[in-house]
Amino acid sequence: MRQPSSPTTAHRAVLTALLAALLLMLLGAPPARAAGAAPDPASACALRGTTGWTDEGHTTDYSVFQRPKGTKKVGMIFVDFPDAPATETPASGAAQITPGADWLRNASYGKTRLAITQHRRWARMPHKSTDYGFERGLTHETHEAYLKDAVAAADRDVDFSRYDMVYVVATKNAPAISFTPTYVHEPATAGVVADGRRVKWAVTFGQDMWHWGPKLVAHETAHTFGLPDLYGFDGTDAHRHVGGWDVMGLIGGAGPQYVAWHSWKLGWTADSQVRCRASAGSDTVRLTSVEYGRGTKMAVVRTGPTTAYVVESRRKVQADTGLCATGALVYKVDSSVRTGDGPIRVMDARPAATPAEGCRPLDDAPYRAGESFTDAAAGVKIEVLSDDGRGEQVRVTKS
């Protein structure tokens, strides 16, 4: 009997491939998804807000808050009081505020612009400054009464129907109007109406504007977009959560540029600029600094229904020229945490280090090349692989 012929080259290749696959199965090799896991869509890392107010969720209620893109027309009015008549010019107060429009335009990569119209005359309020109850814990109703009086006092000279929002600037001679709260109209209430239009958003500037300066505009106006406060309300170290790494925290901090998470939430950073890791796997990402609008701005590792870790690059440019340290900033986001309770918390790469002169705790928080952050309980590791002076290459892993 004739022996069967040997397999052809093609047959041998097929047999070799089958044997290799069988060997991998027997050795328990991981599936291709886990070994070279493709990034998840950015939407898989967007968190749902649960507080019903300003929080870090992407589900902002724009029937309540102002959409954060485009040009916002702002009417600026100036008020004094029977017990505190103005002796300065309205222009001096405006000079503390109006440069904030340029700051916000740059920080939003040109996506949000404030067109401020100044009505430079003093409108006399009907009550003494001490009658308006300006204290921390100011209620919505008390604040609304102040805004209503201010709008009525200026209405003779101002057409409020022209504006999306209102800035009310109190005279420097009224120390009782001590701080600057933001007003957001509560739906289903009468609110404040002038010239046939409801005033849905307003900022009422008090004495702290002379301390914080123009960046106060970016902080307070962003509340009308739905951003929460990142400083603590509980009376201990107010800036222990994020330090000066976002204008929503310490307004006068070393790094006031909005964190990348906020830029994404507000639509200033596109989904295509976000690398998301929501499923098990690992990604190597080249991050460009958040101070500029182009490139990949952040890598996100989702850890739960309302939680995620974020890593972004920070550099001493643009809004952040005063930084004490540069590198890869890592922070945890929790969209279930209310404003003032620490919805974002920066992870400090050097918790035991003494800040340099003129710097604060957390100012040296960024991770440098060769350093890494790990949360073993959450199965998260973030490694900084390299730094080219303009950004970092990082590897994020979720197990």
CATH code for the domain of 205 = 3.40.390
More confident residue, 137 or 297: 297
pLDDT at residue 272, as a whole number: 98
Same domain, 216 and 268: no
pLDDT at residue 36, as a whole number: 55
In this predicted structure, the answer to whether residue 19 has a pLDDT above a threshold of 60 is no
Distance in angstroms (rounded) separating the CA atoms of residues 289 and 86:
44
The domain of 323 spans 42-56+241-398
Same domain, 283 and 325: yes
Same domain, 168 and 257: no
In this predicted structure, the answer to whether residue 32 has a pLDDT above a threshold of 80 is no
Mean pLDDT score, 243-269: 98
Tell me what the pLDDT averaged over the chain comes to.
Answer: 91
Same domain, 315 and 360: yes
In this predicted structure, the answer to whether residue 11 has a pLDDT above a threshold of 60 is no
User: In 3D, which of 250, 258, 262, 199 has the Cα closest to residue 226?
Assistant: 262
Same domain, 296 and 353: yes
Q: Within a domain: residue 1?
A: no
The pLDDT > 70 percentage for the chain reads 91
In this predicted structure, the answer to whether residue 45 has a pLDDT above a threshold of 90 is yes
Q: Per mean pLDDT, which range of 28-32, 159-163, 305-309, 380-384 is the poorest?
A: 28-32
Same domain, 275 and 348: yes
Domain boundary among 158, 189, 224: 224
Domain boundary among 196, 224, 252: 224
Q: Using one digit for the tens of pLDDT, what is the confidence trace for 356-387?
A: 999 999 999 999 999 999 999 999 999 999 99
Distance in angstroms (rounded) separating the CA atoms of residues 367 and 365:
7
pLDDT at residue 20, as a whole number: 39
pLDDT at residue 5, as a whole number: 32
In SS3 terms, the chain reads as CCCCCCCCHHHHHHHHHHHHHHHHHHCCCCCHHHHCCCCECHHHHCCCCCCCCCCCCCCCCCCCCCCCCEEEEEEEEEEEECCECCCCCHHHHHHHHCHHHHHHHHHCCCCEEEEEEEEEEEEECCCCHHHCCCCCCCCHHHHHHHHHHHHHHHCCCCCHHHCCEEEEEECCCCCCCCCCCEEECCCCCCCCEECCEECCEEEEECCCHHHHCCHHHHHHHHHHCCCCCCCCCCCCCCCCCCCCCCCCCCCCCCCCCCCHHHHHHCCCCCHHHEEEECCCEEEEEEEECCCCCCCCCEEEEECCCCEEEEEEEECCCHHHCCCCCCEEEEEEEECCCCCCCCCEEECCCCCCCCCCCCCCCCCCCCECCCCEEEECCCCEEEEEEEECCCEEEEEEEEC
Mean pLDDT score, 5-34: 36
Same domain, 212 and 338: no
pLDDT at residue 86, as a whole number: 98
Q: Within a domain: residue 2?
A: no
Q: Within a domain: residue 15?
A: no
In this predicted structure, the answer to whether residue 37 has a pLDDT above a threshold of 50 is yes
Q: Within a domain: residue 4?
A: no
Domain boundary among 199, 224, 249: 224
pLDDT at residue 22, as a whole number: 36
Q: Within a domain: residue 394?
A: yes
In this predicted structure, the answer to whether residue 2 has a pLDDT above a threshold of 60 is no
pTM over 0.75: yes
Same domain, 133 and 207: yes
Same domain, 220 and 306: no
Same domain, 216 and 273: no
Q: Using one digit for the tens of pLDDT, what is the confidence trace for 197-253?
A: 999 999 999 999 999 999 999 999 999 999 999 999 987 899 999 999 999 999 999
Same domain, 266 and 385: yes
Same domain, 289 and 200: no
Count how many domains the chain has: 2
pLDDT at residue 313, as a whole number: 98
